């Protein structure tokens, strides 16, 4: 079943996304992570352990994103 989304408002589209996510997340075991995901997680863990990167709290991350930084 396809949903014609071009005539929906942004709010209606977001509600559809939320509904889909709610349904999909009820049984996360049914969703298999892609193979590259484990590699990316290992690389991130390695970079943190080696002091090459770190973490930002959510407020810092939002401020950086709003400034156009990565």
Q: Does residue 19 fall inside a structural domain?
A: yes
Q: Does residue 32 fall inside a structural domain?
A: yes
DSSP annotation of 67 reads T
Q: Given this model, what pLDDT does residue 17 score?
A: 94
Domain that includes residue 33, residue range: 10-66
Question: How many separate domains does the chain show?
Answer: 1
pLDDT digits (tens, 9 = 90+) for 35-48: 899 999 999 999 99
Q: Given this model, what pLDDT does residue 31 score?
A: 79
Q: Does residue 2 fall inside a structural domain?
A: no
Q: Does residue 1 fall inside a structural domain?
A: no
Is 41 in contact with 48 (CB distance < 8 Å)? no
Q: Given this model, what pLDDT does residue 70 score?
A: 63
d(CA 61, CA 70): 9
pTM (whole model) above 0.85: no
Q: Flag residues of the chain having pLDDT under 70.
A: 69-70
Q: Given this model, what pLDDT does residue 40 score?
A: 96
Q: Does residue 5 fall inside a structural domain?
A: no
Q: Does residue 3 fall inside a structural domain?
A: no
Q: Does residue 59 fall inside a structural domain?
A: yes
């Amino acid at each position: 079943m396809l949903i014609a989304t071009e005539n929906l408002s942004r709010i209606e589209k977001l509600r559809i996304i939320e509904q889909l996510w709610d349904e999909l997340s009820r049984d996360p075991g049914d969703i298999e992570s892609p193979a590259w995901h484990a590699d990316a997680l290992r690389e991130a863990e390695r970079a943190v352990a080696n002091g090459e990167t770190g973490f930002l709290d959510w407020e810092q991350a939002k401020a950086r994103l709003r400034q156009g930084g990565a």
